[in-house]
Amino acid sequence: MKISVYNIKGEATGRTVELPEDVFGIEPHEHSVWLDVKRYLAAQRQGTHKSKERSEMSGSTRKLHKQKGTGGSRKGDINNPLYRGGGRVFGPRPRKYVIEVNAKVRRLARRSALSAKAKSGGIVVVEDFSFETPKTQQFKEILAALKVADKKPLTVLGSYDKTLYLSCRNIPKAGIAPAQELNTYQIMNAGALVIAESAIAKIQESCA
């Protein structure tokens, strides 16, 4: 699949690059994408939720009144879950939400997500660029020139660039990621992918 290369001014350079068919041209496997997105979102959960149960409450364990003869229900201590301030029945406990997904399935999911983006025309290839110092306004101008500023763009770089990361992080709904760390959720969550030329080979390596 051939695609035109643009410069940071949004102008076509007259050159094209070949997007690997085995990464950007396969039939998307929706279930793999669903599994990998579910795995990613589950891993973001801390799982530190905790509530106190009856045995963990601080309070007197004195029996409130005798078992029989009062005409009322049987009552134990003040930590009874039926009372206000009592313990909770079957409350949440700390746990891990990690879901295991095979590496082959994760790679298939990334290829499927990239292929779906390519088929929908959501990929723009741009010449490699960098800044000497962080410039958020300059980065916004590049996204506007490429006509993706209002499409929740994700910029994919060949390698981590701290200056570009600092330039992009304050732009609402815009993201940036090195090709080696690109995941299925980021691809599906983005409205458009702005891929640097040097990142194409790195994406192919990570999806192989």
* Inside any domain, residue 58: no
pLDDT in tens, 101-128: 999 999 999 999 999 999 999 999 999 9
What's the number of domains the chain is made of? 1
Q: What is the pTM of this model?
A: 0.84
* Inside any domain, residue 95: no
* Inside any domain, residue 70: no
Q: What is the CATH number of the domain that holds 174?
A: 3.40.1370.10
* Inside any domain, residue 149: yes
**Nearest one of 190, 168, 169, 193 to 179, comparing CA atoms:** 193
pLDDT in tens, 28-71: 999 999 999 999 999 999 999 999 999 999 999 999 999 999 99
CA distances from 95 to 9, 38, 42, 49, 98 (A): 49, 17, 12, 8, 9
* Inside any domain, residue 69: no
* Inside any domain, residue 144: yes
Residue range(s) defining the domain that contains residue 9: 2-28+103-207
